[in-house]
Amino acid sequence: MTKYVKIPGFNMGKVRDVTSKQYLTDAYKRLTNAGFALKLTPTKSVLADGHAVSGYFDEDNKEIVLGTGGRVATWLPALVHEVCHFDQWREGCAVWRDFTYPTGGDCGVIWDAWISSKSKRYTPAVICDMLRRVRNCEIDCERRTLRVIADLMLPVDAAAYAQRANSYIYFYNYATIRKQWWVRGKAPYASPQICAMMPHVILEDNSAYDTISPELVLMYDKYCTTNGLPGIR
């Protein structure tokens, strides 16, 4: 009989599929062997820098934190995504190195401070360059995620996951335009209406994500933020 590890604070019994259990076991061992903690919470989302997200990878505090309050088919690929960020960090790949801006600083942190109006230090051109770097890191991570799903034959609908991933990637453009993140509980990948507009694959050319249609901006307004509410704009 296969022996699965006991992950602190997580009930492995909620996962029925043996392939998923094996992935969880292997991921936990890889992370702990590298000195990282895997924290699986019973909530559907967790907070990262004040934003509600499905999960996050933190190389400084050496941890992956993920909400597992929803269906396994929803949070399992999110875990794969965060472990793929761990792989990017461990490898020191080009898109991960590009996350550090040439003049110093973490592009994600600086970009987030800018959209939160906590920083006015950088020009729009520099912010757009930082956006490109952040987005390219996420695109690479999504490609890795889909390869893992396929290689391990995890019980995840790859086409549907790619649509959710694309809704997240394009949202970075929206957040830069509107200078705001999604309202808690209104993530773009949780909106069937937005996901239905998305490609079923991760696009081969990263530059295809450079622009966002006016129609998609309005959809994000309506389903992810308060911008679509009467009297707000």
Q: So what's the pLDDT on residue 207? A: 96
Say what percent of the chain tops pLDDT 90.
71
pLDDT band at 50 (very low <50, low <70, confident <90, very high): confident
Domain that holds residue 136: 71-224
pTM value?
0.91
| Cα torsion through 209, 136, 58, 27, rounded to 10 | 100
Question: Does residue 110 sit within a domain?
Answer: yes
Biggest alpha carbon distance in the chain?
Answer: 61
CA 169 centroid distance within chain: 8
Write out pLDDT tens, residues 196-227: 999 999 999 999 999 999 999 999 999 999 77
CA distances from 133 to 38, 130, 136 (A): 26, 5, 5
Domain count, the chain: 1
Question: Does residue 232 sit within a domain?
Answer: no
Residue 231 has pLDDT above 50, yes or no: no
Answer yes or no: are the C-beta atoms of 154 and 20 closer than 8 Å: yes
How many Cα atoms sit within 13 Å of 215 on the Cβ side?
5
Nearest to 206 by CA among 106, 122, 138, 150: 138
Question: Does residue 154 sit within a domain?
Answer: yes
Nearest to 109 by CA among 41, 67, 58: 58
CA distance 132 to 145: 20
- Ordered DSSP codes for 124-138: HHHHHHHHHHHHHHH
Question: Does residue 10 sit within a domain?
Answer: no
Question: Does residue 44 sit within a domain?
Answer: no
Residue 161 has pLDDT above 90, yes or no: yes
Question: Does residue 145 sit within a domain?
Answer: yes
Question: Does residue 208 sit within a domain?
Answer: yes
pLDDT band at 114 (very low <50, low <70, confident <90, very high): confident
Question: Does residue 116 sit within a domain?
Answer: yes
Write out pLDDT tens, residues 65-78: 999 998 999 999 99
The three-class DSSP label of residue 66 is strand
